[in-house]
Structure 1
Amino acid sequence: MTVTPQTSGNGLSVTYEGAVYPAEEIARGAAYELSSAAEAPGFEWSRPGTTRPWRRFVHATEVSDVHPATEPVEEPEAPLLVPLHRERGWSYVQQLSQQPTAAGDPTLAAVRDSAVIRRGTRMVKVLSARQLAGYVRGWLPHGFCYREHDVAHLRTPAATTVLRTDGSDARDGADVTYALRWRAADPGDYDVPVGAAHRGLTALAPRDRIGAAVLGTGFVPSSGQLVPEFVTRDFADLPMPANATLLAYPADGVEVVLYSYQAEQRGWLRMAGPQWRHLLAAVPGLSPDQEYVPTGEAPRSTRLVGGYAGGDYEAVADLPGGFRVLAMTRAARYPVEWAARRLRLANWRGAPCLVLREETGWLRLRLRRPDPDAVAETGAQCQERGVYEAWAPAAEVTEDRVVDLPYRL
């Protein structure tokens, strides 16, 4: 007798560990949500009252035989490639990624090099409620982040613990986790935290850091995940691209789009309906009923600039379409002829820094290369994993300059 496997409401099913499960595609096929009518290893009871109350999130690399096969709607991201053979399986590579002494291992380097950011790659940064409030009020993407393709299967507060940068975890009792998702404007805006340039991060004592230790292998500290991590280059803020989104993931793993960034208005438009407003209750200083939240007109630490008809203008990354002049009227949103990220750099007490803002003779600085000596010399405080900031008298700062980092169009 032939048994026809069950499928989800969209007719999709996948094979996972030899069994066929109904599935829902996540992040354009980067991961799948599997459902089951009966208990199975690794599945969680999450949706009582349904015909398939057991579910599990798995990465696309863990499944086979997707039925029916679907054509990608856009260029897929480069998968993480792990060279395996009988003596060195996935577990070996995962364990190797957790050993700081293995940072130069050729096998580990080959795996890490396969995680590639291209223009338009969707990036993700997991946030606490406090961090979400900061981004709604004007913070820009910075610090540690990940390709959505690599973390799409981590969707619950407990699962995203390994991606948090604020030092808290699922044991804090949070029943929702938040995230910022945006498209990369240029691969040059990101760096891999390995090698001599980032060795100081691995040497920082626990008392001087927030969040998990930086291993120096380029992978997230985890007992069971193999997730490549990135940092914004020099830990700089990046200009917020058009249509970036702020997300919420409650305990059942559903993705809720809370806000969408409106570049011309410099603010966040609320997208969540009434049934999801309770997810914002824990966010300090934010009214769940506020339809639109402007970020304010405070000077920004970085800007995207572009050229059109011989003039320089503030620009916006509107990907995957490209770069255009930032203008309120549609007729003035010209495609730019060149684009660059403009930021302000300086040195203080021998440490290379980013200038974030200036107030009455004082500069707010962020260390570009955190290490024990720079932290001790400047008295910089850790704001989140890898991000160290301090106030400095403007008169003491040297080599204060504005630089443009061009993008290749």
Structure 2
Amino acid sequence: MTATSQEPGVAEAPAGLHVTYDGAVYPAEEIARGAAYELFSAGAVPGFQRNRVGARTPWHRFVHVTDVTAVHGIPPSSSSPEVPDTPLMVPLNRVQGWDAVHQLSQTPAYAGHPTLIGIRHTATIRRGTRMVKVLSARQLGGYLRGWLPHGFCYREYDVAHLRLPTDLALLRTDPDAARDGLDVAYALRWRATDPADYEIPIGDEHRGLVTMPPHDRVGAPVLGTGFTPSDRHIIPEFVTRDVGDLPLPANAALLAYTPDGAEVVLYTYQPEQRGWLRMVGPRWRHLLVGVPDIAPDQEYVPTGEAKRSSHLVGTYGGQEHEAVADLPGEFRVLAMTRAARYPVSAPRRRTRYATWRGAPCVVLREESGWARLRLCRPGPDSVAALGAQCYERGVYEAWAPVGELVDDRGVDLAYPE
């Protein structure tokens, strides 16, 4: 079957782009610089859904680039100078098919299987890789008020085909799914500053998360295979280094996804003002109605001047300055005026660490003699010893008297220039 016909008056896909999927050729639009495609059909096709009102065709679906067998026409990404991300490579043969690999990825007992480890390490992060964290409405409000990226996240390349709120629910890390419903999904998207900021949740260092009992965790279990739990997808997951905060780079974005798969940029991050600039007009403001304590018509939401648990510094003119990553390749002085945004050398991320009751932690903030801690290597024993609470998948925090902290120090992670 070839589904290339169009209804009268319906335009072709931009630049005549078509792709071959499941033996048929469909008009298509590129998503995430070629990581996925939106396919269009004039007639009903198994797996396709009703398209949005006013769309070029009544039926559409989203597919990952690895499910496409051919691309016809010149996609917009072909002229981009940006280096594409490496795809997840899965060796398939007559003995080991897709179902067998999927079963391996979903079974904690196979976490150390050589085949699985080899597959997992083909999905890599480079400087400038776009990362995604799916959020609840409550989490979206938290980022608008100053939270930094932390915990479990994904490469945009691996999840670009998950555009519907029902599909994105798979990637949520919070306990609010039943409360929020599935009418809209939110996400934070940013560029990775350096691969050293991320870990693959496999091996002995993350064994504690794998063995965490159900009553002490939030969200899906951590399998220890490096893949997120799913009944049909093989999606590589990452966690921020030591489950710590990462400084927001310039032009990070808070997004919304509607039931028809439209991506809406709600806010973009402006580092000089340490705040979020609202991007949506009246058409999309209803997407923010369910976000706690956020006014949908607010032009600018400042994130405050509180000292952050993690920030970038660099050297200019022989002096240290707070810096910002303007990726994919530049580090510069964090300054309000454009003339003072000098490039810096020796960029590094500075994070405060401490040990409490034998557990290594990131110090998030300090208030009135108490420190807010996040466990670097949470496990059943350390969670019980600290009385830590799980706030989202893999993220455990507790308050501790500052006087009981040991080895309290700032640690610099240097980035290669």
The aligned counterpart of 1:370 is 378
Higher mean Cα deviation, 103-112 or 69-78? 69-78
The aligned counterpart of 2:9 is none
- Aligned partners of 2:178 and 2:404: how far apart in 1? 42
Deviation at 1:12, TM superposition (A): 1.1
Deviation at 1:140, TM superposition (A): 0.2
AA of the residue aligned to 2:38: E
Instruction: Report if the CA contact (8 A) 1:165-1:211 is conserved.
Output: yes
C-alpha spacing 1:222/1:47, structure 2 compared with 1 (3 Å): same
Provide, for residues 265-311 of structure 1, a one-character-per-residue CA deviation record: whole Å limited to 9, x for no partner. 11000011210000000001111111111100111111100011110
Higher mean Cα deviation, 382-391 or 44-53? 44-53
- Aligned partners of 1:180 and 1:50: how far apart in 2? 27
DSSP-derived class of the 1:47 partner: coil
C-alpha spacing 1:15/1:305, structure 2 compared with 1 (3 Å): same
Structure 1 residue 197 corresponds to structure 2 residue 193: no
AA of the residue aligned to 1:290: Q
- Identify the match of residue 206 of structure 1 among 211, 214, 217: 214
- Aligned partners of 1:72 and 1:114: how far apart in 2? 25
The aligned counterpart of 1:161 is 169
The aligned counterpart of 1:54 is 59
Deviation at 1:5, TM superposition (A): 5.9
DSSP-derived class of the 2:102 partner: helix
Structure 1 residue 186 corresponds to structure 2 residue 191: no
Instruction: Report if the CA contact (8 A) 2:3-2:42 is conserved.
Output: no
The aligned counterpart of 2:363 is 355
The aligned counterpart of 2:38 is 33
Structure 1 residue 407 corresponds to structure 2 residue 389: no
Structure 1 residue 258 corresponds to structure 2 residue 266: yes
Deviation at 1:89, TM superposition (A): 1.5
Instruction: Report if the CA contact (8 A) 1:213-1:221 is conserved.
Output: yes
Structure 1 residue 272 corresponds to structure 2 residue 253: no
CA RMSD between the two structures: 1.5
DSSP-derived class of the 2:16 partner: coil
C-alpha spacing 1:398/1:17, structure 2 compared with 1 (3 Å): same
Instruction: Report if the CA contact (8 A) 2:3-2:41 is conserved.
Output: no
- Aligned partners of 2:172 and 2:139: how far apart in 1? 11
- Aligned partners of 1:179 and 1:323: how far apart in 2? 25
AA of the residue aligned to 1:86: R
Instruction: Report if the CA contact (8 A) 1:258-1:271 is conserved.
Output: yes
DSSP-derived class of the 1:313 partner: strand
* Count, aligned residues: 408
C-alpha spacing 1:290/1:100, structure 2 compared with 1 (3 Å): same
AA of the residue aligned to 1:258: L
Identical aligned residues as a percent: 67
C-alpha spacing 1:17/1:306, structure 2 compared with 1 (3 Å): same
Provide, for residues 303-324 of structure 1, a one-character-per-residue CA deviation record: whole Å limited to 9, x for no partner. 1000111100000000024101
Residues 230-245 of structure 1 correspond to what in structure 2 (within 5 A)?
230-245=238-253
- Aligned partners of 2:133 and 2:53: how far apart in 1? 31
Instruction: Report if the CA contact (8 A) 2:136-2:177 is conserved.
Output: no
Structure 1 residue 388 corresponds to structure 2 residue 396: yes
Give TM-score, length-normalised by structure 1.
Answer: 0.97
- Aligned partners of 1:272 and 1:171: how far apart in 2? 24
Q: Which runs of 5+ in 1 are unaligned?
A: none
Instruction: Report if the CA contact (8 A) 2:315-2:346 is conserved.
Output: yes
Instruction: Report if the CA contact (8 A) 1:157-1:170 is conserved.
Output: no
Give TM-score, length-normalised by structure 2.
Answer: 0.95
- Aligned partners of 2:246 and 2:53: how far apart in 1? 42
Instruction: Report if the CA contact (8 A) 1:143-1:232 is conserved.
Output: yes
Provide, for residues 157-201 of structure 1, a one-character-per-residue CA deviation record: whole Å limited to 9, x for no partner. 100111000034478523000000000001000000000000000
Instruction: Report if the CA contact (8 A) 2:271-2:334 is conserved.
Output: yes
The aligned counterpart of 2:233 is 225
Structure 1 residue 118 corresponds to structure 2 residue 107: no
- Identify the match of residue 98 of structure 2 among 87, 90, 114: 90
- Aligned partners of 1:142 and 1:50: how far apart in 2? 37
- Identify the match of residue 254 of structure 2 among 241, 246, 251: 246
